[in-house]
Amino acid sequence: MVRRIVVKAIGGFEQLQVEEGPAAHEPKSKEVTVVVKACGLNFYDLYVRQGLSPEIQPPCTLGLECSGLVKAVGNEVTSVKVGDKVSVHCPKGGACVEEITVDEDSVILVPNHISFDKAASFTVNYLTAYFSLFHVGGLREGGAVLIHSAAGGVGWAATQLAKTVSNVTVFGTASPHKHELIRQNGVDYPISHDERYSDIVREHRKEGVSIVLDSLSGADFTHSQQLLEPLGKVVLIGARGMLGEETRSMWRILKTWWMTKDISPYTLIVNNCGVAGFNLNELRYTSLQTFRKGWKEVLQKILSNELSPRIDSVWTFNDIVDASKQIANRKNVGKVIIKP
Ligand SMILES: NC(=O)c1ccc[n+]([C@@H]2O[C@H](COP(=O)([O-])OP(=O)(O)OC[C@H]3O[C@@H](n4cnc5c(N)ncnc54)[C@H](OP(=O)(O)O)[C@@H]3O)[C@@H](O)[C@H]2O)c1
């Protein structure tokens, strides 16, 4: 038997529980069994608990990513061997467990000097930021980016990645007490959520920005489009406005979608701007090679210290409610880690 964090049903924090379940199955030919040492918590895990994920519905085991040591491999596995340290991506959830068996494509070898916490921290956040800024957004030298929640996992990663391109200006929103830290991470202009961020951006860059990384949707999606410089792009990655209180609010969901205005092709043409969406899980399902190439590139940049994931806090499985509240109550700066 192994311990796992389960979401018993759609609902509040009380639905997060630690349970014992069957051990991971023996790896088939192209599978790998990993003894999990650390798991990364994501904003998406809050969506799952509230029943807002179309893909992962409770009852389920929580978690999109983890790290650990390879315990066993199938006879056709070539990229890792028993004893290796790996990061694991679980797009269908299930990462918060003491032992897991996944297909070989879901693991990447990480060197021993990278801590388990760090190895569990970068996959979802850094790959989302990497593909959104570079593949979808096409960030170029001298450009500017507006990053919502720049102190969160994706925001932290996006700031660092944007700054790998020369002469890029970063605007970032976050709670005021996080401004000094996001500034140290590379945000040139920290902005509070209750400030009129569009005005502040225009004050410093009257032509607007090249990319808005929009995780909010709703009315902000309209502001995002209005903030673009010619040839700029909004990259929509989430709908955080849907998540309000501890439990799902149909009113908030409907309001968010109601306020996420349709895009007019005519306006896009006339304004020379673009609107795009990005979904890491879908990319993984539909373009595995691209996904894995990006995974390796991001890891290389971490190994060469060009990128440096920040661990906000480390908790145990038994603290899952408090760990989740760290994100839900807007306290985290960087990644929240949970250990078995
Ligand atoms: N499309 C994809 O493939 C993909 C992949 C990963 C993540 N995402 C999306 O990207 C966004 C960021 O994800 P993440 O995992 O890095 O989360 P995160 O940013 O670490 O989330 C926590 C932070 O978000 C801010 N926040 C803004 N609105 C909030 C709200 N209504 N409730 C609670 N916190 C709120 C808070 O910081 P401040 O208030 O200080 O800003 C909080 O500390 C999420 O919307 C997520 O769904 C999308």
- Per-residue pLDDT of the chain (340 residues), as tens digits, is 999 999 999 999 999 999 999 999 999 999 999 999 999 999 999 999 999 888 999 999 999 999 999 999 999 999 999 999 999 999 999 999 999 999 999 999 999 999 999 999 999 999 999 999 999 999 999 999 999 999 999 999 999 999 999 999 999 999 999 999 999 999 999 999 888 999 999 999 999 999 999 998 878 888 888 999 999 999 999 877 666 666 666 666 666 666 666 778 888 888 899 999 999 999 999 999 999 999 999 999 999 999 999 999 999 999 999 999 999 999 999 999 999 9
Report which ligand 1 atom has the smallest distance to the Cα of 327: 22
- Beta-strand pair 228-236/209-214: parallel
Closest CA to 124 of 44, 56, 236, 53: 44
User: Where does residue 192 rank: exposed (0-12), middle (13-18), buried (19+ CB within 10 A)?
Assistant: middle
Residue from 182, 240, 280, 324 to probe ligand 1 pocket by mutation (most atoms less than 8 Å from CB): 240
Q: Where are the alpha helices (DSSP H) in 146-247?
A: 153-162, 179-185, 197-204, 219-226
DSSP single-letter state for residue 28: -
Report which ligand 1 atom has the smallest distance to the Cα of 282: 3
Ligand 1 centroid, distance to 151 Cα (angstroms): 9
What is the distance between the alpha carbons of residues 155 and 310, in angstroms, rounded to a whole number? 11
Q: Is 116 in the pocket of ligand 1 (CB under 6 A)?
A: no
pLDDT of residue 270: 87
With tokens 């997060």, the residue in question is: 16
- For 76-104, letters b (16+ CB in 10 Å) and e give ebeebeeebbbbbbbbebbbbbbbbbbeb
With tokens 């701007």, the residue in question is: 273
What is the distance between the alpha carbons of residues 300 and 314, in angstroms, rounded to a whole number? 24
Closest CA to 37 of 110, 144, 136: 110
Q: What is the 3-state secondary structure (H, E, C) of 38-86?
A: EEEECHHHHHHHCCCCCCCCCCEECCCEEEEEEEEECCCCCCCCCCCEE
Q: Which domains does the chain have, with CATH numbers?
A: 2-121+309-339 (3.90.180.10), 125-281 (3.40.50.720)
Q: Where are the alpha helices (DSSP H) in the chain?
A: 43-49, 116-119, 123-130, 153-162, 179-185, 197-204, 219-226, 250-259, 265-271, 280-286, 288-303, 320-328
Helix (H, G, I), strand (E, B) or coil at 93: coil
Q: Judge contact between 189 and 200, C-beta under 8 A.
A: yes
Ligand 1 centroid, distance to 154 Cα (angstroms): 7
Q: Which two tokens stand for residue 80?
A: 């890792």
Helix (H, G, I), strand (E, B) or coil at 264: coil
Residue from 171, 215, 249 to probe ligand 1 pocket by mutation (most atoms less than 8 Å from CB): 215
Give, for 170, the enclosing helix (H) or strand (E).
strand 169-173
Q: Judge contact between 1 and 25, C-beta under 8 A.
A: no
